[in-house]
Amino acid sequence: MEQGSSQEQVLTPAMINERFIAYVLDLSPFIFAWTLSLWAMAHSYSWPVFLTPLKVSAFWIFLYGIYQCLGVRMGGTIGKRLMGIVVIDGNGRHPGFLQSLIRAFGQILSSVFFNFGFWFAFFRADSRTLHDLLSGTFVVQLRPKSRGESNALFAAAVCVLVFIYGVLLHGLFSAPTFSEQEQVKKSADALYFLAKIEDDYKAQHGTYTDSLADLAKASGNADEFRNALKMMFQPDRFQMRAGTDVYWISAVCLDQRHTRLIVEGPPPRVHR
């Protein structure tokens, strides 16, 4: 590897321990934001229909790629800077934009299938990963660390990564599917429609009602009203309370989880 200055300098490749810790530090905020986004989608009844979990995931992956590209362009991401390591090209300089872009999205490729691209570093003396080889970059130390310090940090990073993957796997297996979310959202929209009928009923009678029969009549087509509710909710699980100034309606959806939704107001608010 050529040097970018006339001063003779020995560049020591960063150890895989250091690189792994930097990777966890950089990835953790994006994993947290992605998980929070999917949780919000699963518990919100006002998100746009076009905003699917796949699109949200693609957005955070793309944002992570941009973060990596800008970080590499400046020599290293926040995680690498904290670990005292930097990314350089074959001349010992900061990588160019195209090189940084290739490396950033190459790292996303390296991260799939249990980070297979990072395993390259275990079999190379220069600790280069798949995305290093694709982009022609090297990761080197700015300051040396003792093996004890490096091993301790590596163990801590492993614990953090196991926790992250544990949360992800739990979320994947316990979260409702997209079709279930769609079904619950349609049920939430139906409750908003009930809230509108409640408002119309009060405008005519001066108070809200706790009777589905009253709401069916106020809808203008009682048979269609009842059939629509049967397609959305368990008919024997409705609960209603109402007074002069407030109303409260609870219903159980037909999804596999039997999600209970509540609308109360005014103004109408749907929640579990």
> Do residues 37 and 56 lie in contact, with contact meaning Cβ atoms separated by under 8 Å?
yes
Question: How are strands ordered across the β-sheet holding 239-242?
Answer: 239-242, 247-252, 260-265, 269-271
Q: Is the whole model's pTM more than 0.75, yes or no?
A: no
pLDDT tens digits along 150-177: 677 777 777 777 777 776 676 666 666 6
> Do residues 236 and 249 lie in contact, with contact meaning Cβ atoms separated by under 8 Å?
no
Query: What SS3 class is residue 251?
Result: strand
d(CA 157, CA 25): 8
Percentage with pLDDT > 70 across the chain = 88
pLDDT tens digits along 70-103: 999 988 899 888 888 999 988 888 899 999 999 9
Question: Can you list the pairs that 44-52 forms with residues at least 24 positions away whose Cβ atoms lie under 8 Å?
Answer: 45/184, 45/185, 45/188, 45/189, 45/261, 45/270, 47/185, 49/185, 52/178
